[in-house]
Each structure stands twice: as structure tokens, then as C-alpha cells.
Structure 1
């Protein structure tokens, strides 16, 4: 279980760092705005800016789905597999 936790935590940390970095560059018009990191991107007119927006969105989903995969989906699938294996042994 410890290896799943650290893998999920690593993906959560790397995705969060990428999301904060690219969100700060492209989605935060002013430091003093109340809403930051979730504003629509403004003034992105270059290909590098578009790539930055895509990488920022991908980092957000890596943060969410990576942590859910290793913290929830894999342990639940192992529990279900063990439970179904125990039921199959009891049926024989």
C-alpha cells in the first residue's frame, strides 16, 4: 500500500506543480485578483501560449486522476479481486 500512496502522491505533486506554474503564467491577470488559476486565458496569441494552456490543463487532470487511480481505483480493484477469489474458493 505504501508504494501506491507514494506513486499517487508523486503524480498529485507533479500535476499540482505544473498546474500552478502554467496557471500562474497564463490564467492569472493580476496578483491582487480574488479568483486566480481558474480565470479564462486572455491574450494568448502564440503557439507556445496554446501549448502552455494545454500542458496546464493536462497537469490539472494528471493531479486529479493520478491520485484517484493510485489511492482509490487500484486498492478497490484489489479488494474486489480478493473478495471474488474468496467467494470462488468457497463455491468449490
Structure 2
């Protein structure tokens, strides 16, 4: 169980770190006005749009990866052991 917890925690921290770095680059208007919820500029180049796509991907990777290792895998093991004991 500790192995699944640390894998989920590593995915969560890694994914949120990636999300926070990209959000800091594209959603922070200036150095003194640090907030990660400002709307993004409309005129972006292709690599900027790709980075914003990665930002969304990092967020979903963090959420779904942590839920997989913290909920789905332990629930699957419990179901498998209950099925074997039946």
C-alpha cells in the first residue's frame, strides 16, 4: 500500500509542478502581480498554444494518476481478493 501511495504522490506533485510552471509563464501578468488564474492572451503562437495544451495535460495527469494509484488499484486488489475468497 505504501508503494501505491508514493507513486500517486509523485505523479500528483510532478504533474502539479508542471502545471504551476506553465501557469506561471502564461498566466502571470507581472512579477509583482503573481496569480495563476488570469486569462491568457488571445494572440499566441503555435508553441505557446502547445504549452497551454501541456498545462491542461499536466493537470489531468496529476488528478487521474493520483486517483488511479490511491483509489482504483487498491479497490481492484480488494475486489480480486474478495472474488478469490468467494
Please indicate the TM-score interval, normalised by the length of the shorter structure: 0.7 to 0.9
- Residues paired across the two proteins, number: 85
C-alpha separation between the residues in 1 aligned to 2:24 and 2:71? 29
Alignment of 1:1-92 (within 5 A): 1-30=1-30, 31-32=32-33, 36-87=35-86
**Which one has a bigger Cα radius of gyration?**
1
Write out the 4+ residue segments of structure 1 that deviate beyond 6 Å after TM superposition: none
Output the TM-score relative to the length of structure 1.
Answer: 0.81
Per the TM alignment, residue 37 of structure 1 is displaced from its structure 2 partner at its CA by: 2.5
Output the TM-score relative to the length of structure 2.
Answer: 0.86
C-alpha separation between the residues in 2 aligned to 1:27 and 1:39? 5
Which runs of no fewer than 5 residues in structure 1 stay unpaired?
88-92
Which runs of no fewer than 5 residues in structure 2 stay unpaired?
none
Per the TM alignment, residue 27 of structure 1 is displaced from its structure 2 partner at its CA by: 2.0
